[in-house]
Amino acid sequence: MSEKNEKDIEQIVPEENKEAAAQETAQETAQEAVQEAVQEPVEEAQATAEKEAAPKGKGFLKKDKNKIRIEELEKKVEECENKIAKDRDDYIRLMAEFDNFRRRTAQEKLDIVSMASTETIKGLLPVLDDCERALEVLRKSDDSEAAKEGTELIYHKLLSYLQSKGLAVIEAKGQPFDTDVHEAVAQFPVQEEDQKGKVFDVVQTGYTLNGKVIRFAKVVVGI
């Protein structure tokens, strides 16, 4: 083969090789471009899905925790309300008991004071009886007026003092016989029909203290 032909062949082969190499390079470049074009949306889709899935899962978990927390708080509120209602009932009951105790104690004190004063006044009633008897005797006697006036003065002063403490004389003579304030010690026949069943005479004066009988009037009843 001539040298010219060999040079032509050498020129042709490199050119063919260069063309093949260029084609291979173009194919590789095209494949890489396709892979990049496909891979990028896939990666973006995966990233978006992970991003959306992660917050959503946390949101559900947070929502469940909030729901449990609300239920616990509602339960505690209900327990507190029940406890407050019970404490309020106990307080009202205790205050009612204390008020009853206070009233009962005050009434007992009043009863003690009243009883003491009642016993004291009862002890003075015989003195009034003696004064009444003394006045009756003086009125029937010829003693001096000074003795009568002195006795009457003592009697009325004592009676006025006791009346200021709540003592009152039970009206008896001429009144219908009343077992609530009168005590019959005898009966006396009377001619008048309107006097029957009424007090004919008073043997002993009766008294009330603040509306309560401390001594019944001993009387004679007409029949």
Domain-by-domain residue ranges, the chain? 167-223
Given a cut of 70, whether residue 52 has pLDDT beyond it is: no
Given a cut of 60, whether residue 67 has pLDDT beyond it is: yes
Q: Look at residue 157 in the predicted model and tell me its pLDDT.
A: 92
Q: Look at residue 206 in the predicted model and tell me its pLDDT.
A: 93
Q: Report the pLDDT averaged over residues 138-166.
A: 86
CATH superfamily, domain 167-223, is Head domain of nucleotide exchange factor GrpE (2.30.22.10)
Q: Are strands 212-215 and 167-169 parallel, antiparallel or unpaired?
A: unpaired
Q: Look at residue 47 in the predicted model and tell me its pLDDT.
A: 57
For the record, the structure tokens of 61 come out as 């978990």
pLDDT band at 19 (very low <50, low <70, confident <90, very high): low
Q: Report the pLDDT averaged over residues 170-193.
A: 89
- DSSP lists the bridge partners of residue 213 as 208
With pLDDT > 70 as the criterion, what percentage of the chain qualifies?
71
Q: Look at residue 24 in the predicted model and tell me its pLDDT.
A: 60
Most confident option among 18-27, 58-67, 104-113, 208-217: 208-217
Q: What is the mean pLDDT of the chain?
A: 77
pTM over 0.85, yes/no? no
Given a cut of 50, whether residue 3 has pLDDT beyond it is: no
**How many C-beta atoms lie closer than 10 Å to residue 207's C-beta?**
23
43 against 69, higher pLDDT = 69
